Amino acid sequence: MKRAYVFPGQGAQVIGMGRDLAEAYPSARAVFDEVDEALGERLSALIWEGEIAELTLTQNAQPALMATSIAAVRALEAEGVSAMDAAFVAGHSLGEYSALCAAGAMGLSDTARMLRLRGRAMQDAVPVGEGAMAAVLGLDFDAVTAIAQDAAEGEVCEAANDNDPAQVVISGHKAAVERAAALAKARGAKRAMLLPVSAPFHCALMQPAAEAMAEALKGVQINAPAVPLVANVKAEAVSDPEEIRNLLVAQVTGRVRWRESVAWMAEQGVTQMIEVGAGKALSGMIRRIAKSVDVVAINTAADAKTLAERIGEAHV
């Protein structure tokens, strides 16, 4: 069976995520300890016992979600299932950093520090209240792109996340995004709703954050991943460290081409995708994109054991 590991992005965070893994596997606990040390604070305490409003702050959510994903990777390794045996890794937005860490392209401490910086830079790029994002359900990418262009009226309004055949997220100036949401409903969208995010991610307004990441990533060791990365902005596999570095910068303002990325992996013969970390949002998207692909979400120790048993039985 040809597998891909996929890693969730912002929005999947919940208080308590990863705690079960840390309690069951010393290697998973060590992930949270290392992230705490890298950031100089007990992020793990916020993740497991804090307030959801604080965890949802971009600068906290990004390293927290990555830590939870890598803890799940370590749990799978403890059960004899390695991400290094996958055909590809991929991640949704910040999940791309989790994917690179899982594939050995970036060290865990560096990944945590980059995501803390990325979260702050993205938050600071646009004053609070000036930007917005909205999810449009029931229209395809081309239709939503046209709506964003028609609604812009000289402001920024772009398709930011092409998530699945009937879910596209738009991002930009708040007034323009509100116009686009209204226009989407008028043009037949099932729903068009503003998202509870603190900044307009993956659009031209993030250029200051892209510049900050370009500078920060200059000082980070990036190795060729042991498993090729299907990059958000290319929707195909890359392995060259300098290309990965450049794509991580481009990703800040660029579109998350998730629908195309999943379809590309399916075209390469991937028959199972393992969502590693918090939530099951990607699993739902994958099922709508590539109906023949088996999707498994790994959130808990029980999930890790169940997958290991399934894989072991398949090899008997």
pLDDT digits (tens, 9 = 90+) for 167-213: 999 999 999 999 999 999 999 999 999 998 888 999 999 999 999 99
The reported pLDDT for the residue numbered 196 is 82
Q: Which of 93, 98, 171, 198 is catalytic?
A: 93
Mean pLDDT to the nearest integer, 7-36: 96
Mean pLDDT along residues 263-292:
97
pLDDT > 70? residue 315: no
Sheet containing strand 191-194, edge to edge, reads 157-164, 167-173, 131-137, 191-194
Does the pLDDT at position 314 exceed 80? no
Q: Which of 221, 245, 259, 251 is nearest to 108 (CA)?
A: 221
> Are 245 and 222 spatial neighbours (Cβ–Cβ below 8 Å)?
yes
Q: What is the pLDDT of residues 39-62, one digit of tens each?
A: 999 999 999 999 999 999 999 999
DSSP state of 72: H
Question: Measuring CA to CA, which residue among 259, 229, 263 is closest to residue 246?
Answer: 229
Going along the chain from its start, the domains and CATH numbers come out as 3-125+205-315 (3.40.366.10), 131-197 (3.30.70.250)
Mean pLDDT of the residues in the chain = 96
Residues ≥6 apart with Cβ < 8 Å to 134: 169, 170, 177, 178, 180, 181, 184, 192, 193, 194, 195
pLDDT at position 316, please? 43
CB–CB of 20/301 below 8 Å? yes
Tokens of 103: 């594939």
Tens-place pLDDT, residues 240-269 = 999 999 999 999 999 999 999 999 999 999
pLDDT digit string (tens) for 110-154? 999 999 999 999 999 999 889 999 999 999 999 999 999 999 999
Looking at the DSSP bridge assignments, the partners of residue 6 are 90, 275
- Please enumerate in sequence order all residues whose Cβ is within 8 A of that of 168, keeping only pairs 6 or more positions apart, or say none: 135, 136, 139, 140, 141, 144, 145, 159, 161, 162
Contact between 112 and 153 (Cβ < 8 Å): no
**Mean pLDDT across the stretch 305-313?**
86
Query: Is 218's pLDDT higher than 80?
Result: yes
The whole-angstrom separation of Cα 268 and Cα 98 is: 22
- At 182 the three-state DSSP class reads helix
- C-alpha 85/C-alpha 87 separation (Å) is 7
Strands lying side by side in the sheet with 272-276: 237-238, 229-230, 88-91, 3-7, 272-276, 294-298
**What pLDDT, in 10s, does the model give residues 69-80?**
999 999 999 999
Is-catalytic flag, 202?
Answer: yes
Please say if 239 is a catalytic residue. no
Q: For tokens 């995520």, what's the residue?
A: 17
The confidence band for 312, taking pLDDT boundaries of 50, 70 and 90, is: confident
Rg (CA), the chain: 19
**Residue whose pair of structure tokens reads 């050995």 in the numeric block:** 104
Q: Give the position of tokens 């300890």.
A: 33
Distance of CA 64 to CAs 10, 49, 179, 185, 274, Å? 10, 13, 33, 35, 19
